[in-house]
Amino acid sequence: MIVLGLSFLACLSAIPVVAQIKATPAQQKSMIAAINRTAIAVKSIQSTFVQTKTMSFMHDKMTSKGVMYYSNGGKLRWEYTSPYQYIFVINNNKVYIKSGNKAANAIDVRQSRIFKSITQVMMYSVTGKGLASNRDFGVTMYVNGNEWIASLTPKRSEMKKMFKTIRLFFDKNKGVVSQVEMNEVSGDKTVIQLYGVKTNAAINEKVFRVN
C-alpha cells in the first residue's frame, strides 16, 4: 500500500498544475483584440524589472535589475541600475545609449536596420501593440491559467538572425505585459519580469532625454 501510495504521489507531481493550452482561432482573435484595446488605452507605463539571461555556453545565470518607462508616441527608457549602469532610450526615430559615466551615443533608427528591429522588439515587448497586424511576427496565442501568452515568430530577415521566438506573458484580467521571454538563435535565453506596473501615470519628459 505504501509503495502504491508513493507511486500515486509521484504521478501527481509529474502532472502540471496548470496546462498551457493553444487558443482556438476564435479565441486568438478575441484575445488579440482585447490586448490591442488595452494597448490603445494605455498612454504610459512604468515599472521595475528583473532580467535573467542564460547563456548557451554557461551554466550560470546573469541577473540584472532596473526601471522602465514608456510613453505612447514612440518613447521608451530602459535603464539598468544593478549590477551595472546602462541606459537605452527610444525617442521617436532616435536611440540613445549611455553606459556608466560615458557620453551618450545617438543613433538614427531610420539609418540602421538592426536598431530599427531592436526598437520594434522593445515596443512589442512592453505594450503588445501590433499583434493583429502580423507584419513582423507570426503570432500564436496560448492560455495558461490567469495568463495569456503570445508566442511571436519573426518574419523579417533581420529579426530571424537574432530571435527564434519571443514570448509575451499577459495578465489576462489587466491585458498588460507581465513577463517577456526572448529565445535567441545563438541558444541564449533572456527572461524579463516586470514588477509594480503602473499605467497612465504622469511621466516627466526629461526621463526620455539622455545627457
Domain holding 123: CATH number? 2.50.20.10
First and final CA of the chain: distance in angstroms? 71
Nearest CA to 71 among 50, 101, 92?
Answer: 92
pLDDT digits (tens, 9 = 90+) for 136-145: 889 999 999 9
Is residue 13 one of the residues assigned to a domain? no
Residue 103 lies in a domain: yes
Is 5 inside a domain boundary? no
Residue 176 lies in a domain: yes
Residue type, 114: I
Contacts of 152 (CB under 8 A, 6+ apart): 124, 137, 138, 139, 165, 166, 167, 168
pTM higher than 0.75? yes
Number of domains in the chain: 1
Structural domain span for residue 55: 20-208
In this structure, is residue 3 part of a structural domain? no
Least confident of 7-16, 49-58, 86-95, 147-156: 7-16
Residue 92 lies in a domain: yes
Would you state the torsion angle of the CA atoms of residues 83, 74, 162, 141, taken in this order, to the nearest 10 degrees? 100
Which of the pair, 43 or 114, is modelled with greater confidence?
43
pLDDT in tens, 146-187: 999 999 999 988 889 999 999 999 998 888 999 999 999 999
pLDDT in tens, 25-81: 999 999 999 999 998 899 999 999 999 999 988 778 999 999 999 998 889 999 999
What secondary structure letter does DSSP report for 93?
A: T
* Per-residue cell: 8: 500515486
User: Could you tell me if residue 14 is inside a domain?
Assistant: no
Residue 7 counted as domain residue: no
